[in-house]
Structure 1
Amino acid sequence: MGFQYFAGAALRALTARKDGPSLYDVCDPVLLNYRGGDPHLGKFYKTALGNPALRPLLRRTGLPALNDEGRLQRLRAALTHARDAAEPDWAAVGAPIAELMADIGVEHPQPAKVAATARAPAAAEIERVIRRCGAHLLGSFAKNGFIPTYAAFNLLGDPDMGGREMLMALTGLNARGYKNSTLLFNLARIFIAHSPARALINPPWTGIAEPMWEPVQIRHRSAYYDAFFTEALLSFVETGLASGEEIAASQRAIADMVEFCLKTSAEEVPSHDGSKVRVVTALAPGSGPRFSRFFAQIKQDLGFGIYVPDCDTTACSFSAATQAGSTDPILDQPLLDFYRGYQVREGANEPRVTVPLNDHVDYEGGVVTWIDNLAGERPYGNDLDPTLNLDILEVSFRHLGRWKILETPQRLETVHRIIGFQRKLAESGAFAQPRSHIYYLPELYSAYFGRCHAAFMALPLVARQAIDPDGHFEFIRGKVLAYVEGELITREMNAFDAALALMALAHLGADVATFAPALHCIVAHFGEGGRHGPYKAYEWNKMKTPTRILVGGPEVTSAFVLMGLALARRKMAKR
């Protein structure tokens, strides 16, 4: 898609024939200027929806359904209640919006089947890409003082967020600002879905992971990202393809990122036994995230004023630091004791999942996402993501002896129950459904299962038998490989999809002949990133609320391509 596509979409949006009240006809009388009530709702409306960039694109999009005066007034009354009530009835507020969301028609991508690639690229081509991706990461660190990642908004929203799920979010989230932004973003989705601007805001793409279009990308730093950049640079050094200077630069960057994870981003939180535990938050306090002043204010206006720690960032940070050889005392904490308090037990603490967007999944045994801070704040309520639970298993395997997991029945039981949760997910096939995942996509789950499986297989046989006496890991391995080999690599992929496919195939012991489609895709798309790097930015992870917020970046793609190619190259050398 080039200039002609986007220019045509913009022209059609600016000249559309209006048939019914627009978003601004609905909201301006209620939210543009008012006194009293909740000031954040109006501030959010002006910042995110009523701004000079979006207003011209949507001002001519009307909803015929709102030509019904009674329906229009009920919608305005709901917004007024959200604005003025000290404690709004959020289910009632969201009801007229949920009703209008029935036909927005947002769907997951369905890549077309493609002919199988017969031959893998030459070793020299693979090594050229590895070297370039490693240099890209190191060059970015040298330029910025960290390796940045980016967030971008897709205002059309997530395919898994229908009216029912929007109501779940409104009633399950805690922070009022976050409820406000979820409410209004979902109202805007309805108008965008019926506007020619839809083609501009959500253009089509190749593969599964969504490309991140350049406008409105927010650059920042997070311990979660630093943990995976650490693993990528460790992988680069292990390939033997880095120069002496690059090895030294990698070691300096790794040391800095480990310190950012374990020191800068660490905070103390209460555990469920009354003790205190040091965990890791995704957005460090103060200037740690490296937001510009402009975007720091936007973050506040959008309802992200409080950011609490999470189980996933903590697990990944501990794992990366351990792989890097850190001996920081924070790593001695047996996290499984802490995670046990956030583990769902059927009938006992299932209400811990307050935003059950993937409620077709059996949560029993899974660990939820968000950690209460010392003040007891939980702005996002809580949800449960399968991939996060893989990261908890992976870090537990790396700390099996240090945390005395086999010697401590309670810790071993916690591991058994997480594995049981994953087994049920594989048995049902739910792992391959995008709706099952809160923050990720099925192909990323597959890559992360491969990563987790590799850590499991590195353990002594007696330990593996104690951890998984019923062979659940082998069962899940078969299901994941069948998905990657039978679905993912048989369809159109982008470079990010291909990197994740390679990670899964290589870690799970697939025949090296199956690497060819992913290797071919990666080499064929080399250079697509232009001045930003070897590859474009793609969706690594996402948030479904308050709208679809994608996180990734050119550096992220380079990191995953590097890791995928390094794994594949090692397996191919042993053939």
Structure 2
Amino acid sequence: MDVRYMAGAFYRALTAAKDGPSLYDICDPVFLRQSCGNSHLATFYRTALNNPALRLVLRRSGLPELRDPIRVRALRDALSAACDDDAPDWAAIGQPVADLVDTIELSHPKPKRVVPPPHLPRPADIDAAIRACGTHLLGSFDRNGFIPTYAAFNLIGDPDCGGRELLMALTGLNARGYKNSTLMFNLARVFIARSATGRLINPPWIGIAEPMWQPVQIRHRTAYYDAFFTEALLAFIDTDLATGAESAASRDAIDQMVAFCLKTSRETVRGPDGGTVDVVTALAPLPHPRFSRFFWQIKQRLGFDVYVPDCDTTACSLSAATQAGCNDPMLQQPLIDFYAGLQVRDGGNAPSVTVPLNDSIDYDGGIVTWIDSLAGERPFGNDLDPTLNLDVLELSFRNAARWQVIETPKRLETLRRIIGFHRRLIESGQFADPKSHIYYLPELYCAYFGRCTAALRALPEAVQRAIDPDDAFAAMREKVLGYVQDELITREINPFDAALALIALGHLGAEPDSFKAPLNCILDALGEGWRGAPFKAYEWNKMKTPTRILVGGPEVTSAFVLMGLALARRALAPRPAA
């Protein structure tokens, strides 16, 4: 973070000329009155938007069009309806806010092209960086009893979410609290993005993945994170760079994290045949998420107190357990049958995607994100994310024999339809468009595509041919590898971007020259982190609703860098003599 830049941005936010009514001029009369029918909305306003710190920097952020009393009345009436009506008309309530959201001009990063470095770094330097990342992860686990990840709110919102997407969310989400927070965050982001405060909230950065500079970050633990930390420590062991003590500590941490995934985070839901199935919840009950009491109370006040299982956490947890050699009975369930019940069929259950923020892509064959709880709860409605569908494939490839995928025509058809979903996405070029993704960057999709491809290529050739008779993965590989080589690594990147590039390049069998730019980027940045971390925290995944919520952390960066460097090290190792 550039301290001089932040100081200047803070000063400009405090001293900017006020050009019309502010967020507080609009909202105070609605939410600070004695009676508000839906107490959550008033509580949300007071906690999330009317706190002293945000009010300080937003009090001079005004919108000139709100000098029009008719427009102000329409906006306040909509907010009052959201607050007071028993069954709000969310499309009507959202329209005045959506009109304002459409005045925001935001864009995704467009890094400039750079001259590639001339040489590969020394193998010894790669090894040293791997050891630094492994030591960081093990040290964090030893201090905390788990490896933490952090969430941070970026109130300026996501460039892909305009007024149309706001209305999709308001009408497609189920939980009223989540609708409330989406409405209010989107109203606030207009005042932020169109004022000097925007440059304070959203400073510029190098590369694609956004650095997590936000001063308030919420530490927590989920099975999804433990699954990827498990993979990182498995990669550390496989490099043979860990000492004997570090290998033993890694194994112990892996065992504990797999247990957290499959035991602590296990949840029973209804299966497609009416029976029950064990899946993995997105957020285990207290005390397991390891929130501080302060943040847990804020989380409940803001309306984020109900979570349900999801297909991605389930897939990644079971994949990590499989890789770790676990034989938990949960792995014996042919979960591909459960996923088939959540697969979109054109003209069939396509309406199951209730929040279609990425409706420019063809959903047919894809698996939706959220799993109804046994009580029938689905607070987030449902959406469909491409990267999640790679994780479902990867898990299924690793368990193809156990689940008798090849021997069961329906299971084989389910996999082929997911592959067809990806093939259309990749061949159209839409995989490289951030708008095609709900929770991830296109660059991360490329890395996970490499990971998925590696799981397929590890299967016997006859099994590969049965799953992919048209050799779709070979065609997709060319497109994805071309994007990484011709776009991602030819531009300014940061260490997290570089790690994603290495994972894609390593798994997809790229030529050694392709590794130069990402390897040099990572090694040049080694030591940039704070408090002994090798690297800073960067965006791993995100939520687009209710606002842009980034998830990552310095440990996450270490995990991805470690996995990327391990693959590069293997790819660059001297070939044995014939």
> By the TM > 0.5 criterion, same fold?
yes
Please state how far the C-alpha of 1:427 moved relative to its aligned partner. Answer: 1.3
Structure 2 matches for 1:284-433, cutoff 5 A? 284-433=284-433
1:10 aligns with 2:10: yes
Task: Indicate conservation of the 8 Å contact 1:342/1:367, yes or no.
Answer: yes
1:527 aligns with 2:527: yes
Task: Indicate conservation of the 8 Å contact 2:154/2:214, yes or no.
Answer: no
Task: Indicate conservation of the 8 Å contact 1:446/1:480, yes or no.
Answer: yes
Taking only aligned residues, the RMSD between alpha carbons, in angstroms, comes to 0.8
Task: Indicate conservation of the 8 Å contact 2:224/2:316, yes or no.
Answer: yes
Distance 1:546 1:33 in 2: 25
The aligned counterpart of 2:196 is: 196
Name the amino acid aligned to 2:86: A
Task: Indicate conservation of the 8 Å contact 2:36/2:42, yes or no.
Answer: no
The aligned counterpart of 1:34 is: 34
Task: Indicate conservation of the 8 Å contact 1:270/1:374, yes or no.
Answer: yes
Name the amino acid aligned to 2:129: V
Name the amino acid aligned to 2:524: A
The aligned counterpart of 1:209 is: 209
Mean CA deviation greater in 277-286 or 202-211: 277-286
Q: Cα deviation per residue 1:264-313 (whole Å; 9 max; x = unaligned)? A: 00000001210100000121112110000011111112221100000000
The aligned counterpart of 1:567 is: 567
1:118 aligns with 2:124: no
Name the amino acid aligned to 1:69: P
Distance 1:33 1:272 in 2: 48
The aligned counterpart of 1:65 is: 65
Distance 1:477 1:550 in 2: 28
1:476 aligns with 2:476: yes
Distance 1:40 1:167 in 2: 20
Structure 2 matches for 1:444-523, cutoff 5 A? 444-523=444-523
Name the amino acid aligned to 1:67: R
Q: Cα deviation per residue 1:128-186 (whole Å; 9 max; x = unaligned)? A: 00000000000000000000000000000000000000000000000000000000000
Name the amino acid aligned to 1:251: R
Name the amino acid aligned to 1:461: E
Name the amino acid aligned to 2:424: K
Name the amino acid aligned to 1:476: M
Distance 1:297 1:421 in 2: 41
Name the amino acid aligned to 1:71: R
Name the amino acid aligned to 1:546: P
- Aligned residue for 2:267, secondary structure, equals strand
Distance 1:293 1:120 in 2: 48
Fraction of identical pairs, as percent: 69
Q: Cα deviation per residue 1:421-476 (whole Å; 9 max; x = unaligned)? A: 00000111010000000000011000000000000000111101100011111111
Task: Indicate conservation of the 8 Å contact 1:532/1:554, yes or no.
Answer: no
Name the amino acid aligned to 1:191: F
- Aligned residue for 1:247, secondary structure, equals helix
Q: Cα deviation per residue 1:171-224 (whole Å; 9 max; x = unaligned)? A: 000000000000000000000011111111000000000000141100000100
Q: Cα deviation per residue 1:514-554 (whole Å; 9 max; x = unaligned)? A: 10000000000000003150000000000000000000000
Please state how far the C-alpha of 1:6 moved relative to its aligned partner. Answer: 1.2
Please state how far the C-alpha of 1:17 moved relative to its aligned partner. Answer: 1.1
Task: Indicate conservation of the 8 Å contact 2:153/2:214, yes or no.
Answer: no
Task: Indicate conservation of the 8 Å contact 1:366/1:384, yes or no.
Answer: yes
Name the amino acid aligned to 2:105: G
The aligned counterpart of 2:554 is: 554
Please state how far the C-alpha of 1:36 moved relative to its aligned partner. Answer: 4.5
Distance 2:269 2:381 in 1: 16
- Aligned residue for 2:498, secondary structure, equals helix
The aligned counterpart of 1:82 is: 82
Task: Indicate conservation of the 8 Å contact 1:152/1:217, yes or no.
Answer: yes
- Aligned residue for 1:524, secondary structure, equals helix
The aligned counterpart of 1:97 is: 97
Distance 1:558 1:214 in 2: 19
Distance 1:23 1:36 in 2: 18
Task: Indicate conservation of the 8 Å contact 1:222/1:283, yes or no.
Answer: yes
Mean CA deviation greater in 430-439 or 34-43: 34-43
Distance 2:196 2:490 in 1: 33
Mean CA deviation greater in 456-465 or 30-39: 30-39
Distance 1:269 1:203 in 2: 43
1:540 aligns with 2:540: yes
Distance 2:144 2:33 in 1: 41
Q: Cα deviation per residue 1:3-26 (whole Å; 9 max; x = unaligned)? A: 221111111111111121100000
Could you list the runs of 5+ residues in structure 2 that have no partner in the other structure? Answer: none
Name the amino acid aligned to 1:323: Q
The aligned counterpart of 1:152 is: 152
Name the amino acid aligned to 1:277: V
Distance 1:414 1:320 in 2: 22
Distance 1:439 1:109 in 2: 17
Name the amino acid aligned to 2:562: L
The aligned counterpart of 2:137 is: 137
Could you list the runs of 5+ residues in structure 1 that have no partner in the other structure? Answer: none
- Aligned residue for 1:53, secondary structure, equals helix
- Aligned residue for 2:451, secondary structure, equals helix
Name the amino acid aligned to 1:63: L
Distance 1:236 1:49 in 2: 43
The aligned counterpart of 2:264 is: 264
Name the amino acid aligned to 2:536: K
Distance 1:533 1:405 in 2: 43
Please state how far the C-alpha of 1:87 moved relative to its aligned partner. Answer: 0.8
Distance 2:281 2:542 in 1: 17
Task: Indicate conservation of the 8 Å contact 1:406/1:466, yes or no.
Answer: yes
Task: Indicate conservation of the 8 Å contact 1:447/1:504, yes or no.
Answer: yes
Structure 2 matches for 1:235-274, cutoff 5 A? 235-274=235-274
Mean CA deviation greater in 565-574 or 260-269: 565-574
Distance 1:572 1:206 in 2: 27
Task: Indicate conservation of the 8 Å contact 2:535/2:554, yes or no.
Answer: yes
Distance 1:295 1:153 in 2: 13
Aligned length: 575
Task: Indicate conservation of the 8 Å contact 1:33/1:42, yes or no.
Answer: no
Q: Cα deviation per residue 1:97-143 (whole Å; 9 max; x = unaligned)? A: 11111221111000000001121110010000000000000000000
Distance 2:216 2:530 in 1: 19
- Aligned residue for 1:480, secondary structure, equals helix
Name the amino acid aligned to 1:494: N
Name the amino acid aligned to 1:388: L
Please state how far the C-alpha of 1:2 moved relative to its aligned partner. Answer: 2.7
Distance 2:467 2:32 in 1: 58
